[in-house]
Amino acid sequence: MTIKRPLWAETSDLMRDYYDTKWGLPEHDDRELFKMLTLELFQSGLSWSTIWKREKAFNKAFANFDAAKVAQFNQQDFERLMADSSIIRNRRKIMATINNAKVIQELLSNGETLNNYVWSFVNFKPQRLVLDGKRLSSQTSESKKMARKMKKDGFQFVGPVTVYSFMTAIGMVNAREE
């Protein structure tokens, strides 16, 4: 079976593999969701390939995206991350990641998983988006609603564009070519 890919997924072997094995496929593991949310916020203003090339470095830098561990990061950890040239060294994005890990821990302490939190925005079912050759929108009314709620709940660096990119990356919105 031949996979029909969008142009961005044909730019390199790395991007083809990402599209074929990860992008747009429903993800429900809390650690993977935290990872993808983090990588999407780091991607803001950059290309996805810039971020995905550094995936292993981000995994190492952020304790394999164990939110409980990242939530405990202190000033020394922050300085270590700011000095780590293998990741994107953006002060606001690093601080947002640590903050978001703390928000996830708060969700867990209230009996909610990150999976249930994010998937509730689409009633726990992927939403099918038919592109018909059109470009994927940068945001939707759903991503605006989700971003507002996430910000209200304490998440940072979660504007509607970043949230929509996250939603499509984790399969909440199925925009895969058929």
Tell the burial category of 175 from Cβ atoms under 10 Å away from its Cβ (0-12, 13-18, 19+): buried
48 among known catalytic residues: yes
Choose among 93, 95, 24, 104: nearest CA to 66: 104
Q: How far is CA 15 from CA 42, 52, 136, in A?
A: 17, 8, 17
Instruction: Confirm if 158 and 34 have CB atoms less than 8 A apart.
Output: no
Catalytic residue chosen out of the listed positions 48, 117, 119, 164: 48
Contacts with 145 (C-beta within 8 Å, 6 or more apart), sequence order? 121
CA 140 to chain centre: 16
Q: What's the CA gap between 135 and 153, in Å, rounded?
A: 31
40 among known catalytic residues: yes
Catalytic residue chosen out of the listed positions 40, 52, 117, 164: 40
Residues catalogued as catalytic: 18, 40, 48
